Structure 1
Amino acid sequence: MLIQLLLASSTVLLVALLGGFLLMLARPWLSWMVPVLIGLAIGVLLGSAWLHLIPEALESASSSVFIMLMVLLGFLLFHLLEQGLHWHHHHVPDGDARLAQYAKMNLVGDGLHNAVDGVLIAASFMVDPALGWATTLAVVWHELPKEISDVAVLMHGGASLKRAIVLNTLCSLPVFAGALLLYALGQWLVLPLSALLAITAGGFSYIALIDLYPLLKSDVKRTSWLQQAALFCGLGLMLSFLLLEGH
């Protein structure tokens, strides 16, 4: 089972690389695509949080109030984390390679999300390998549009395309940590999956609404209407995944 678990986790990592590869193919159009993909990122983050993570957390929890408190906790934790990054930014000399804070926050949220995905994949494999592969397919199904938009957020935040792909791929590595942690400790440790899902949803909501949405409001270029369309497209993608899964 361990080999299958590692293969499934590697599939998630490959999706992150695929998202970067697709943007490399579109390099000639990146100057106008990246602002539009910011809108897609907002839609994907909000759709992932409110159409997938929160409902899934509610299904496995005994108290809806507890789950919503965890969502609020995730939102506030990311606020405190951003304040810490802001303090660090003012106490370290500036450099050309410095990323914008919203790009750093998206990295943190993506890493946490991938760790939770690893836990979910491992939990499914421990029940039944077929269920494990079905869960992996569902994770990959959701991840591709998100990985593309994550690379775009990093580029908008000051990273080159190559650096954005590397950073985004590195943020996929926690999927191995989450999967192996549950595999190693699953016999003795019960991880609060519903709470982790809800906290991740709160973090995604913070990044989408506080960090990324103001970028749309401040953009007065001709691409602004495309950004709004991309936002609703991102929401539509997450909703279509939900409907295709039969929930």
Structure 2
Amino acid sequence: MSVLGWILLASLAGGALSVVAAGVFALNARAHWVHWLISYAIGALLGAAFLEVLPAAVTASADATTTSAIVLGGILVFFVLEKLVIWRHCHIEACEGHEPHVHVHGHDHGRSGLLILVGDTFHNFVDGVLIAAAFMEDVRLGAVTALAIIAHEIPQEVGDFVILLHSGYSKARALAYNLLSSLATLVGGLLAYYGLSAAQGAVPVMLALAAASMIYVAVADLIPGLHKRTELRATIAQVVLILLGIGSVIGGHHLVDHFIGH
């Protein structure tokens, strides 16, 4: 299969399949299962960032200092972007002084749902760009990157789906809008493929930003939620699932190696 074919397949899997899986899960699964998905996603994100994407970025650029600086800058940019989103939520929901998270109300006339959709569309577009950049560097790296993106997209999409339902959307509309938003992954992958084909020098930068994104989402957005459950049994389960997420990245590396022959 060509690199473009892999990008198309991975973009569709990373977008539409994660939305469908999240929709089915949100409607049928027990709420406490989300905690286990989040723990696994943390491990998959950190494993992919530190064991796959970041080493590939350093190798592609041949400049570890510059690559590290891009990762550091990327983390700062993601922090500022998320802060702007929080300020926007606080302005709309009049939540000055509240904890920095989305407050969902049953009578907000769909505003929370709309913001979620806009933010998710941008996020999906960036995911498509990151998938394309990884596949253009190495098919194995692309597969692992796509796997990590799917792993963290499912618990995120579950949360988004619930917010849409509470914001007044029907189940059918919530699923339809999430599927439409997921197409941004495919658009991002295609645009990145044709754009990066003409500028291969951008690939190391995109990989470094991919690592920054994975690290930031895992450390800033997902890990703090785990600390709300302090009991020993939950902590042990979280650690085991984080290790399982990391192990799945390592296992995926060897599995893809076996089938592709690199």
Q: Same fold (TM over 0.5)?
A: yes
1:43-192 alignment, distance < 5 Å: 43-93=43-93, 96=105, 98=112, 111-121=125-135, 123=136, 141-152=147-158, 154=160, 158-160=163-165, 163=174, 166-167=177-178, 170-171=181-182, 173-183=184-194, 186-187=197-198, 189-192=199-202
Q: 1:76, 1:186 → 2: CA distance?
A: 28
State the Cα RMSD in Å.
3.9
Letter in 1 for 2:82: E
Residues in 2 aligned to 1:154 and 1:82: alpha-carbon distance in whole angstroms = 16
Out of 223, 239, 242, the residue aligned to residue 213 of structure 1 is 223
Matched with 2:168 is none
Residues 13, 169 of structure 1: 8 Å contact kept:
no
Q: Aligned pair 1:13/2:12, yes or no?
A: yes
Number of the residue aligned with 1:127: none
Q: Secondary structure at the match of 1:92?
A: helix
In 1, Cα distance between equivalents of 2:195 and 2:220: 37
Secondary structure class of the residue paired with 1:218: coil
Letter in 1 for 2:178: L
Alignment TM-score, normalising by the size of structure 1 = 0.73
1:53–1:118: structure 2 CA closer, same or farther, 3 Å change rule?
Answer: same
Deviation larger for 203-212 or 18-27: 18-27
2:70·2:205 contact (CA, 8 Å) conserved in 1? Answer: yes
Give 1:201's match in structure 2, choosing from 211, 228, 240. 211
Select between 68-77 and 169-178 the one with higher mean Cα deviation.
Answer: 169-178
Instruction: State the identity %.
Output: 20
Give yes or no for contact 1:42–1:213 (8 Å, CA) kept in 2: yes
Residue in 1 that maps onto 2:248: 237
The letter for the 2-side match of 1:197 is: L
Alignment TM-score, normalising by the size of structure 2: 0.70
How far is the alpha carbon of 1:186 from its aligned partner? 3.2
Equivalences for residues 33-48 of structure 1 within 5 A: 33-48=33-48
The structure-2 alpha-carbon separation of the partners of 1:76 and 1:66, relative to structure 1 and needing over 3 Å to count, comes to: same
Runs (5+) with no aligned partner, structure 2: 95-103, 166-170
